[in-house]
Amino acid sequence: MNTEKLIPHLFRTESSKISAVLNKHFGIKHIEIAEDIVSDTFLSALETWPYKGIPENPKAWLYAVAKNKSKNYLIKSSNFEKTISQEILQTSELSTEIDWSERNISDSQLQMLFAVCHPSIPAESQIGLALKILCGFGIDEIAAAFLTNKETINKRLFRAKEKLKSEQIKLEFPPENQIEKRINTVLLTLYLLFNEGYYSENQDDVIRKELCLEAMRLLEMLIESYAHTIPKIHALYALMCFHSSRLDARKDDTGQLILYQNQDENLWDQTLITKGVLHLHKATGGDSASRYHIEASLAFWMTQKEDTSEKWHQVLKLYNHLLFIEYSPIAALNRTFALSKVYRNEIAIAEAEKLKLESNPFYFSLLAELYRQIDRQKSKQHLEKAIELSKLKPQKELLQKKIAELNI
């Protein structure tokens, strides 16, 4: 791999590790200093490697440079000397090496995850910070993921970092009596991060898939430390595995969306499905079922392509349970499709129309599907409304294709 490909790859995989360790070393109130050192470290690689060649151990080279830049920063920066050097000298053992052991890197990232997902920080800012600090995403990429501009993202991140400082949040594992409450916030952040990728309205498939993969990577760290006592961590991971298994089958080569019933089952990742089944089984150790248990079970049934009565009865039963413990209009909408499979389209239509989700294109596309065999003219009208509300070209093209198939 040449430097043009290797350095961006290493930035994605190693910058978050370096940042987490430095934040733990200096204290999170000096988060900008850690970010500057990370940037300077990779800038040194960009300036050096093309001319002197790629080091034998690129990761070790980056860690060594980050360590030296950390020490130099403390020695040479007048800002440090005048304002905060004494404070850091009291909290950091500068006479010793920065701990780059795998254990400390893993612990620092996990502690950073708890810090980023502190309840005092708004959910959208938690995701932004996670992408920036723990996933190595740039501001442009985060802005693209949220369908907003760089200025908005910079403001969100600035406010979130100020909150980390003002709340004096430390990089440490929560006390045992707070673990479950804090993990709930972390799981929700990772759930939302995954959904940003899986249901993204961004047309850049690379970013979309990487959001999913990064959510899974961060969740894997939680699994190693806490899943033996908190089974819903396994349930969320199973949900991500099942959904990710169908990512490559959801679009064709031209970028057009492929409906579930038309997906090529051969493109489904059976390794991920098997892994999902394993983690769903491990999730059964608790006393109660969380939303993640139910959604993972729903996602499992969607990896079973056979259109059987048992499948749809189970799916409907799971949606009923999900709506009972945590109501969501979208879940209620999805339930109506299962209702049509178990009973009749007329019953499903009546339930769907009660929801009145008239700003949601999927509401109209579902009604169009339910009316397809009953009233094709109404089906067409709903498809036209869905096209009007849809934002993405692939969605509009799929809906246009469905209109053409009605032959009216």
Summarize pLDDT for 174-212 with one digit per residue, the tens.
988 888 888 998 999 899 889 888 876 655 554 578 889
Measured CA to CA in angstroms, residue 374 lies from 134, 323, 378 at distances of 51, 28, 9
- pLDDT band of residue 94 (cuts 50, 70, 90) is very low
| Assigned token pair, 108 | 């620092």
Mean pLDDT on 85-94: 50
DSSP state of 108: H
Question: Could you tell me if 173 and 110 are in contact, meaning their C-beta atoms sit under 8 angstroms apart?
Answer: yes
- What per-residue confidence (pLDDT) applies to 352? 96
Comparing 407 with 205, the larger pLDDT belongs to: 407
First to last CA, the chain: 55
Cα Rg of the chain, angstroms: 24
**pTM of the full predicted structure?**
0.85
Q: Using the predicted structure, report yes or no on whether residue 83 has a pLDDT greater than 80.
A: no
Quote the percentage of the chain above a pLDDT of 70: 92
Torsion of CA 258, 318, 345, 402, to 10 degrees: -10
Q: What is the pLDDT of residues 113-122, one digit of tens each?
A: 999 999 889 8
d(CA 163, CA 167): 6
Paired strand residues for 257: 251
Name every residue whose Cβ is closer than 8 Å to that of residue 80 and which is 6 or more positions away in sequence: 73, 74, 88
Q: What is the pLDDT of residues 241-289, one digit of tens each?
A: 999 999 989 888 777 778 788 899 999 999 999 999 999 999 998 778 8
Q: Using a CB cutoff of 8 Å and minimum separation of 24, what contacts does 153-160 make?
A: 153/128, 156/122, 156/124, 156/125, 156/128, 157/125, 157/128, 157/129, 157/132, 159/125, 160/116, 160/121, 160/122, 160/125, 160/126, 160/128, 160/129
- What per-residue confidence (pLDDT) applies to 76? 67
Q: What is the pLDDT of residues 130-176, one digit of tens each?
A: 888 888 888 888 887 777 899 999 999 999 999 999 988 889 999 88
Dihedral sign for Cα atoms in the order 157, 162, 165, 167: negative
Q: What is the pLDDT of residues 43-66, one digit of tens each?
A: 999 999 999 999 999 999 999 999
Count the Cβ atoms, other than its own, within 10 Å of residue 306: 6
- pLDDT band of residue 234 (cuts 50, 70, 90) is very high
Q: Using the predicted structure, report yes or no on whether residue 301 has a pLDDT greater than 50.
A: yes
- What interhelical angle do 291-301 and 309-325 show, nearest 10? 160
